[in-house]
Amino acid sequence: MANNSSKAPTKAQIEAELKETKKLLEDTQSALQDSVDVIRELKEQLNQKPQVVVQNNKTKTSKIKCISVSHTPVNVSTEPDSQGRVYSFNEYGQVQYIKYDDLLDIISSYPVTMGSGLIYIADKDFVEEQGVYDDMSVIYNKDVMDKIVYLREDHDVDMLKGMSKPLLETTIRKIAELYNNGESMEANKLEVIKKELGYDIAEIAKEMKVVNAEGDV
């Protein structure tokens, strides 16, 4: 007669195994449901149209670089008649970083000055967004203005013709100053400036010498 040493599982063991199996099934079902949810979300994302998010990096506290290309002092402020916050550009090439909101107020208070190009706003996006200049092609940065006053290039006179009157007048004064300092300038270019723009560089230079001499007395 064979001796069967294995014992039949007890009721408690059977219940424990059933409980464990049930738990495994529940975990599996939960995992499957999670997978289904993920797949559903992915499908929804694929069906959605892409959204373009436009980020405006400019804030009310941003500062914008402004450079004077005027050879005479320029004062502007956040309110007309030098009221509010005043910004003084005392020298050619002077740089100031002006708050975004302040610059908007300055443009509103001094549209002619700011639109003339006397103060070059070195932020293309801001300039285009606000429509500061009527014609960007005749607004010159400092690097360009540094060269124009020497009248060495054929197109320099043409560039003078495109300038606003305020910018042209201060530039003419610088040309006359260089003329007094012995800077060599082509006579034909000076003649064109005299006939077409109405500025006699030699005469202006002479008057500046007189004024400077009187100031030295």
How far lies 129's CA from each of 60, 78, 109, 136, 183, in Å?
15, 19, 18, 13, 40
Reported pTM: 0.70
Q: Which is more confidently placed, 215 or 203?
A: 203
CA–CA separation, 32 and 211 (whole Å) = 93
Write down how long the chain is: 217
CA–CA separation, 31 and 78 (whole Å) = 64
Task: State the pLDDT at residue 198.
Answer: 97
The predicted-structure confidence for 13-30, as pLDDT tens digits, reads as follows 666 666 666 666 666 666
Q: Is the pLDDT of residue 52 over 50?
A: no
The predicted-structure confidence for 87-119, as pLDDT tens digits, reads as follows 999 999 999 999 999 999 999 999 999 999 999
Task: State the pLDDT at residue 187.
Answer: 95
Q: What phi and psi values does residue 82 have, to the nearest 5 degrees?
A: 60, 25
Q: Is the pLDDT of residue 31 over 90?
A: no
Helix (H) or strand (E) holding 5: none
CA–CA separation, 189 and 184 (whole Å) = 11
Task: State the pLDDT at residue 191.
Answer: 97
CA–CA separation, 176 and 207 (whole Å) = 10
Beta pairing, strands 95-99 & 63-68: antiparallel
Task: State the pLDDT at residue 214.
Answer: 73
Least confident of 7-16, 113-122, 153-162, 199-208: 7-16
Kindly list the strands in the beta sheet with 63-68, ordered across the sheet, starting from the edge strand earlier in the chain. Answer: 95-99, 63-68, 119-121
